[in-house]
Amino acid sequence: MAETVIRQTILHDVAHFGVRITIGLIFIMHSLGKFGPGFAENLPNMGLPAEMQFPIALAEFVPGVLLIIGGLTRLSASLLSIVMLGAIFMVKGAQSLTGKGGVELDLLLLAGCLVIIVIGPGRISISYILKKAPRFLQ
């Protein structure tokens, strides 16, 4: 019985770590393209000033890295949730679920971030190793 509980706990830890890594990598990869000049040129078409290029790119890159290492996980997932809400409603206008202007990927990323906010960093994280950060920041 104890062996089953240990396996189940390890499986949960690894699965949670996998979710954090996946979401973090997606945001890092998406943010890298936003550091280039092409993204700044498209921002006025979305109703945003071109000066928002670096804050938007950093708002995806830094929390993505923090999700992977497991530091300030809830705060990072909260920031990424806000970015996803902006992508869904401001950029794409929530036009449709699939197809051109579809928000299915954005909704999946938002749902993943919300799960991370609720569950926290997990045991495979810097926050768990250090155990010094307050729970709401983990």
The three-state secondary structure class of 96 is: strand
The reply to whether 9 falls in a domain is yes
Q: Indicate the pTM of the whole model.
A: 0.85
The reply to whether 137 falls in a domain is no
The reply to whether 49 falls in a domain is yes
Q: How many domains does the chain have?
A: 1
Q: What is the extent of the structural domain holding 69?
A: 2-130
The reply to whether 136 falls in a domain is no
The reply to whether 135 falls in a domain is no
Q: What is the pLDDT of residues 92-102, one digit of tens each?
A: 776 766 667 67
Q: What is the pLDDT of residues 25-84, one digit of tens each?
A: 999 999 999 998 888 888 888 888 889 999 999 999 999 999 999 999 999 999 999 999
pLDDT over threshold 60, residue 1: no
Nearest residue to 93 via CA among 61, 52, 47: 47
